[in-house]
A and B are shown apart, each in its own frame.
Chain A
């Protein structure tokens, strides 16, 4: 009798863990990611997506984000086409994703002034996954939190091939800036 009660209690706990967090999720569908791969004195290689999705589970600090490669806008349309066709192969790999956890996240500690947290997880671009650890600045916003930060990636880490002809025109390290306003 006692055992089955414990069992029942444990089961409740499982259900609570699965559903309880639901109300605590903060989400955006209009997050912003910019990347900058320009080299000085060469044509600008940069793009921006304003339709990034991201979600944060406030109870656990779990965080996930998804962006469609075709959603990145360049100044030059032909560059955008080549980015999709030859570099990112967006028909084969339509999206880039991140899943991970904000370490020691505690929603009660978030204030209006930005606070640094460590975000650890797995970044998937061009079908390749790599563990990453980045600093994220989190501040309180109306109905949610604002997360901003920046980090660098190397194209070769994600098997993005850069032909020798344009090697000089594209930075070795590509800077990625993100800005998400996550709300209830």
Chain B
């Protein structure tokens, strides 16, 4: 009798486990892609671009402000009297290509940008690599001031490579080699061709909050301007991304941000601002 019991129990065990086996048999039917997502919450780290791309047919509306320097205190209400604005749109042509157009108060600048993804971080490749090409058109320049002014003098170009890695759920890093060419420049304080290298990172302090930091070092810069150093806070509120920013470079155009930082953190001369994104 005892001997019958053994296989009988075995029989019961197989019955009990058959649902699990059934579920296990499904494991092999699903192949998961290993692409890293949400390396950064927003399209911008602080003012630099991130490797995040808009999805195909996705339209982002962006409003950004950089106020005047906080150093004047109550005189300009910590810079809030002297706001500069960027209004723009970004459209995802495909998942790997987006176009952007924006208008900046500072220097009455128009900025056209192309962003294109070249590689994505996954199990077999460690990095996201994205190219960013920008043309800035300065419409502030007047013929009265510069009699020999031609349209080409209004142009400034920036070429960047954005290289990022999602190190962990919370921590992501980015490196940004940049080349800037200015058709019009003041030789005493700057150069026509400049190379700038730096980057930044983000750390998520909660699921919907992250602290971002970025620094760019300009290798072709006489002493007049500073290198941009910025810190930001990303706040995700459903369909919006809200970024609070402190920076020593007031400009929001790529070339202005990288080459014309006028603030000095050490002297309390920096700018408050924010980026607001809405997705359609």
Contacts and interface: CB of A to CB of B under 8 A. Distances in A.
A139 interface: no
Interface in A159-184: 161, 163, 165-166, 169
Contacts of B236: 82, 86
B279 A76 contact: yes
B26 A64 contact: yes
B29 A53 contact: yes
A54 B208 contact: no
Interface in A10-55: 10-11, 13-14, 17-18, 21, 25, 27, 29, 43, 51, 53-55
B8 A10 contact: yes
A67 to B, nearest CB: 8
A66 B24 CA distance: 9
Given A51-B30, A66-B29, A82-B236, A11 B19 contact: no
Contacts of B143: none
Interface residues of B, number: 35
Interface residues of A, number: 52
Contacts of A14: 7, 10-11, 14
B139 interface: no
Given A64-B22, A77-B58, A99-B19, 9 more contacts: A7-B6, A17-B15, A25-B22, A77-B56, A86-B208, A99-B22, A100-B19, A163-B208, A165-B238
Interface of B: 3-4, 6-8, 10-11, 14-15, 18-20, 22-23, 25-27, 29-30, 32-33, 37-38, 54-56, 58, 169, 207-208, 236-239, 279
